[in-house]
Structure 1
């Protein structure tokens, strides 16, 4: 699957709007999980695969290629990490964590059982 580009039709939209291209990319299997698991540090392919639990090596490889082409993830000596653009994306996504906690409590009566919440829990 190719990386969605603004100005071209993408899954779910023919508008070519940049936000629709981003939604297409982030909505792909494991794309958000990969970004989420890279938010705090760089990691190797194998470590990232373990963090993402059931992801196959092929899917992980494809998503990393797409996220690298989109300048969200980069490869370094230590492994894979978020680019500056990827870190900015994470800053924008963190408020969704707060929103989701309120939503899950108010709509589904779900509350976190851990005593301490971390950025990873969002």
Structure 2
């Protein structure tokens, strides 16, 4: 496949684009935690051991910009914000689930 441009970036193939959107240490775990229901920032932070406030905020913004998640702000005091998957975000769940299955198989090879 020839290289292509998407949103101002050059890619050699769709795998590179996919990894740019959902790759990295925290994006797939964030998406996975949103697969069943929306969550507040604090819930996500507590469920992701080791993620910093700065990193979680950055990853959430990038996923929102990519239209993988949506951010809903409620006009309450204190302010309430919930994150949920968009249709595009939901479409990547089967891919992440296959990676989860592969990871289980890979781990089992070395834990016999």
Q: TM-score range by the shorter chain?
A: 0.7 to 0.9
Q: Which residue of 1 aligns with 2:83?
A: 80
User: Relative to total residues, which structure has the larger strand share, 1 or 2?
Assistant: 2
Does residue 100 in structure 1 map to residue 103 in structure 2? yes
Question: Over the residues paired in the alignment, what is the CA RMSD in angstroms?
Answer: 2.1
Does residue 90 in structure 1 map to residue 93 in structure 2? yes
CA distance in 2, matches of 1:94, 1:46: 24
- Partner-residue secondary structure (3-state), 2:70: strand
- Partner-residue secondary structure (3-state), 1:24: helix
Deviation at 1:33, TM superposition (A): 1.5
Name the TM-score, length of structure 1 as normaliser: 0.70
Q: Which residue of 1 aligns with 2:77?
A: none
Name the TM-score, length of structure 2 as normaliser: 0.76
Does residue 51 in structure 1 map to residue 52 in structure 2? no
Aligned pairs, number: 100
Asked if the contact 2:32/2:96 (under 8 Å) is kept, the reply is no
Deviation at 1:65, TM superposition (A): 0.7
Change (3 A) 1:79 1:54: same
For structure 2, the residue ranges without an aligned partner over 5 or more in a row are 75-80
Higher relative contact order, structure no. (Cα contacts within 8 Å, ≥ 6 residues apart) = 2
Give deviations 1:55-74, integer Å, cap 9, x for gaps.
11111111111001111111
Query: Structure 1 runs of 4+ off > 6 angstroms?
Result: none
Asked if the contact 1:42/1:82 (under 8 Å) is kept, the reply is yes
CA distance in 2, matches of 1:48, 1:22: 23
